[in-house]
Every structure is written in C-alpha cells, then in structure tokens.
Amino acid sequence: MSAYVLLARKAFRRNLQYRAAHMANNLGSMIFGLIYIAIWQAAARGGDAGPYDAQTLAWWVAFNQVMLWVAVFLPHGLGIPEAVRTGAVSLEMLRPLDYHLLVISRELGTVWYNLWFRTLPLALVFALAIGVYVPQNPATYPLLVCGIVLAVYIGLCQQYLVGISAFWTVESRWAWQLTNTLQIVLSGFMVPIDLLPAPFNHVARVLPFAPLHHDPASIYLELAGAEALLWPFFWAVALTLICRYLTAKARRKLEVQGG
C-alpha cells in the first residue's frame, strides 16, 4: 500500500517545480473561462435554455473549467509511452506491484497537485467573478464527491488506455490528441450535452465522456440526482475491466518478446 502512496507523493513533488509556469498557464485558463461564461450568459439572456438559465450556465462553465485539470488534462498516456520507448516499462512491470494500480496511483499525485495549483486558484477567480453555487440539498454533497471521484478515475483510465496502446503502435500521440478532443467535445465541457445539436446529444449521452463533465456538473447544480451516477459507475467498471484485460495482454507480449 505504502509504495503506491510514495509514487503519488513523488509525482506531486515533480510537478511542484513547475508551479510558476503553471500559474502563467492558469492566467490563460482564467480568461478562457471568463470568455465562455460571457458568451453563454449573453446567449441565455436572449432565449430559452430549458433548465439552464444564464446564471446556471455560468456556473456550469466555471465548474467544468476547474474539473478539466483533475479529470482531463493529464500527461500523455500517463507516461507509459515514454516508458515503452526507453524500455523502462519491463522493469516497472516486473515489480511486485499491480501495474494498472501503480500507474493510476502515480498519476493521482499529479491530480492532487492540479487540485491545489490549478483547480483551486481558478475556482477562486471564478467565485469572485460570478459567485458560488451552494447546493441546497444535503444529499447533493456525498453524491458530488462520488461524481468527482468517478470522473477522475474514468479520466485516468482513458489516459491509461492511450498509454497502453503504445505497446502495439509507435505513435500513440494521435490516440492522445483524439482522446483529448473527444473528452472536450462530447463530455459536456463546453455545452451541456442535451443542448448539443442532434445526433451529437444522443451519442454523447451513452459514451464514456459525459461522466467527466456533464454528470458531475449536473449533480453539483442539482439538475440531476443519484441517477446521474449510473452511467459513470457503469463506465468505471467497464473501463477497469478493459484496462486490466489489456494490461495482461501487454504483459504477455512483453514476456514473449523479452521487452
């Protein structure tokens, strides 16, 4: 158990070195957020947005802008492609640790870092700009925690799949970019997915991207209840199975070819 925690702590420290550069990047994220908020508010003021009024949409954008840093903006393939390239991966797989769990916990260090140095400063700025939505129903809080944890885990698993693909292809960079684009377009990050034009709204509902943004945001803004955890829960289980199946295949490939 402690080995996993140690790995996470190391990742946290590594990130800490670049916090000044990250703050400059935060400035960009902040402006992006404020721009999207202004656009949505202007749009919502002019017409019917169903359950989303101007203020709700502003909170929606702000919430997802900060979620981005814990669920979506993760390192390319969680560092696996680099380890495959250098050959370090055979060493890591030989350790008496669970590889899937090892990689995920190592990246949790990065997520933890992002939470403090990306999410928190951005959240403060947005709070000053548009205020904070305080959920009324006490039951919302545990549900929200579950939603966020599932979002982080699903985001990590998707990135893990990108990484593990490096065992079979030389260029996993494309898989990474493709995944990132889908995670932004079809997750409800920019637009609540029921506002997407058909057929995108129907497709996005069942894909594993909505749990990253749409579902936790719906819970936070109390637009949905516990039922918004069904799809995330399903995808967390499904992705776990896929990850573990591919890890076993990768390990076998490594054993056959000797790295």
Partner 1 sequence: MAAIVEARELTKVFRVAKDRRGLLGALRGLFSNEGRDVKAVDRITFEIAPGEFVGYLGPNGAGKSTTIKMLTGILHPTSGEVRVEGKSPQRSRKEVVRRLGVVFGQRTQLWWDLPVRDSFELLAAMYQVKPEAYQEILKRFDEMLEIGAFLDVPVRKLSLGQRMRADLVAAWLHRPPVVFLDEPTIGLDAVAKGRIRAFLKEINRTEGTTIMLTTHDMDDIEQLCSRVIVINHGRLIYDGDLEGMRRTVGAPSTLRVEYTRTLETAPRGPWTVLAHEGAAVTVAFDRSQHTAAAVIAELSRYGELRDIYMAEPDIENVIERMYRQVM
Partner 2 sequence: MNALRLYGRLAAASLRARMQYKMDFLMSTFLYGMLTVSDFLMLAAIMLRFREVGGWNIYEVGLLYGMSWIAMGLYRTFAPELHNFDRYIVYGEFDGLLVRPWPTLLTLLGRNFEPHRLGAAVQGGIILWISVSHLTQAGVLDGLDVAYIVAASIVGALIPFGLSLFTATLAFWVVRTGELQPFTMYAPVTASQYPLTVYPRWLRLLLSSILPVAFINYIPAQYLLGKGGSVWSLVAAPAFGVAFVTVAYAFWRLGERHYHSTGS
Q: Using CB under 8 A, list all residues that contact partner 1.
A: 17-21, 23-24
- Give the nearest distance from C-beta 19 to partner 1 in angstroms: 7
Helix residue spans in 87-226 (DSSP H): 88-94, 99-114, 120-130, 140-164, 173-185, 200-206, 214-220
Both tokens assigned to 15: 């990130």
96 binds, among partner 2, partner 1, none (CB under 5 to 8 A by kind): none
The answer to whether 57 and 38 have CB atoms below 8 angstroms apart is no
| Strand boundaries in 150-195, DSSP class E | none
19 vs 249, beta carbon nearer partner 1: 19
Using the rule CB under 8 A, which residue among 72, 196, 212, 221 binds partner 2? 196
Q: Note whether 253 and 170 are within 8 A (CB).
A: no
CA nearest to 7, candidates 120, 99, 116: 99
Residue 83 tokens read as 């380890």
Q: How far is the CB of 199 from partner 2 (least distance, A)?
A: 12
**Is residue 195 a contact residue for partner 2 (CB under 8 A)?**
yes
Q: Binders of partner 2 among 170-189, rule CB under 8 A?
A: 171, 174, 177-178, 181, 184-185
> Residue 42 burial (CB < 10 Å; 0-12/13-18/19+)?
exposed
Least Å from the CB of residue 171 to partner 1: 16
Interface with partner 2 (CB under 8 A) = 21-22, 24-25, 27-29, 31-32, 34-35, 38-44, 46-49, 171, 174, 177-178, 181, 184-185, 190-191, 195-197, 200
